[in-house]
Amino acid sequence: MYLKKFEFAPIEKEEQFTHWNIQRTCYDTCYPFGILSKNGLRQVDFEPITIFYGSNGCGKSTALNIIAEKIGIERGTLYNRSNFFEDYLDFCDFESTTIPRESRIITSDDVFDFMLNLRSLNEGVDLKREELLEEYMNDKYSTFQMKSIDDYEELKRRNLAKRRTQSQYIRSKLKDNVREHSNGESAFMYFVNMIKENALYILDEPENSMSTDNQLELMKLVQDSARFFNCQFIIATHSPFLLAMDYCKIYDFDENPVDVKKWTELKNVRVYYDFFKAHEREF
């Protein structure tokens, strides 16, 4: 494990800081002060896979961002940051070995940006497809006579159009078509590309945009990376599939104080269980 323990700001430091700063500034809050302490979160002890579970607004993402910034790992997109973030980080502490340089935090915004880039590529592919269709029709049904060696490439292209169907011609020109992947498949592909061996990864709700099949694939990727490739994960998630991973430690942010739970004790999982139990005869 690269990160063994993380200590958030002590509540007495928080109260002292927020009381003084709210009095002297126009702010009515000092985010992230007061977010994690309201549920009594003081310290997290990590395993190879550690999960933060809880409802929206419980502080999971805030905790991930605090940890990522304090230990200094790479990130892509911006996050919810206030003028008091650095002050809060000064009150935090952690215990670790050397954090690998390849370590990073991956958020839903990173995955969304990746899918937007793919969409942009797809739009380019669509435009290119239209151009190739027009080129194909011109080449297949027009006459062309080679007058010099400089015309050889043009003759070869026109002969290619005459020998192939429209779809064969366009596919041969486009090569790989990125539209073959759905949003969920693209999201999973992003994690496959980003997660390397020997690193610490902080994942904020990685199941977003993924089907159940892809969530199961992500679960296997995380478990195998932790077991065989010396990776450590800290994950915020609602996914019952990720919550069910073997040998992970789950912190329930909906409890006060935050408590360690088995995945079968979590409210979200119990809702799924009760629903399918009520419809058991239909299976």
Is residue 69 domain-resident? Answer: yes
DSSP assignment of 202-240 equals EEESTTTT--HHHHHHHHHHHHHHHHHS--EEEEE---H
Calpha distance 89→278 (Å, rounded): 47
> Model confidence over 223-246: pLDDT tens digits?
999 999 999 999 999 999 999 999
Last residue of a domain, one of 133, 153, 180: 180
Q: Considering the entire predicted model, what is its pTM?
A: 0.77
CA 255 to chain centre: 25
Q: How far apart are CA 203 and CA 207, in angstroms?
A: 10
DSSP state of 254: T
Q: Which of 180, 214, 240 is the last residue of a domain?
A: 180
Same domain, 8 and 106: yes
Of 124, 153, 180, the domain-final residue: 180
Q: Please report, to the nearest 10 degrees, the dihedral formed by the alpha carbons of residues 207, 208, 210, 211 taken in order.
A: 90
Judge whether 109 and 137 are in contact, CB under 8 Å.
Answer: no
Q: Cα separation of 277 and 43, whole Å? A: 36
Same structural domain, 136 and 226: no
Helix/strand/coil (H, E, C) string of 8-22?
Answer: CCCHHHHHHHHHHHH
In a domain, residue 191? The reply is no
Residues 138 and 12 in one domain: no
- For residue 240, whether the previous peptide bond is cis, meaning omega lies within 30 degrees of 0, is no
Q: What is the mean pLDDT of the chain?
A: 82
Structural domain containing residue 232? 3-110+196-282
Residue whose token pair is 């592909």: 189
Does 260 reside within a domain? Answer: yes
> Does one domain contain both 117 and 99?
no
Domain total in the chain: 2
CATH number, domain at 245? 3.40.50
User: What's the pLDDT score for residue 28?
Assistant: 63
pLDDT of the residue at 162 = 55
Measuring CA to CA, how many Å separate 261 from each of 26, 51, 243, 248, 266? 40, 10, 10, 10, 7
146 and 210 both lie in a single domain: no
Lowest mean pLDDT: which of 79-88, 176-185, 201-210, 211-220? Answer: 176-185
| pLDDT value at residue 123 | 45
Residue 257 included in any domain: yes
pLDDT in tens, 246-268: 989 999 999 999 999 999 999 99
**pLDDT at 16 > cutoff 90:** no
For the cut 60, the answer to whether the pLDDT of residue 34 exceeds it is yes
**pLDDT tens profile 165-197:** 545 544 555 444 444 455 557 788 889 989 999
Q: What are the Cα distances from residue 85, in Å, to 3, 70, 80, 112, 172?
A: 21, 10, 10, 25, 53
pLDDT of 78 reads 73
- The pLDDT tens digits for 136-165 are 556 555 555 555 555 556 666 666 655 555
Tell me, yes or no, whether 28 and 158 share the same domain.
Answer: no
Same domain, residue pair 46 and 91? yes
Residues 135 and 204 in one domain: no
Asked if 95 and 223 sit in the same domain, the reply is yes
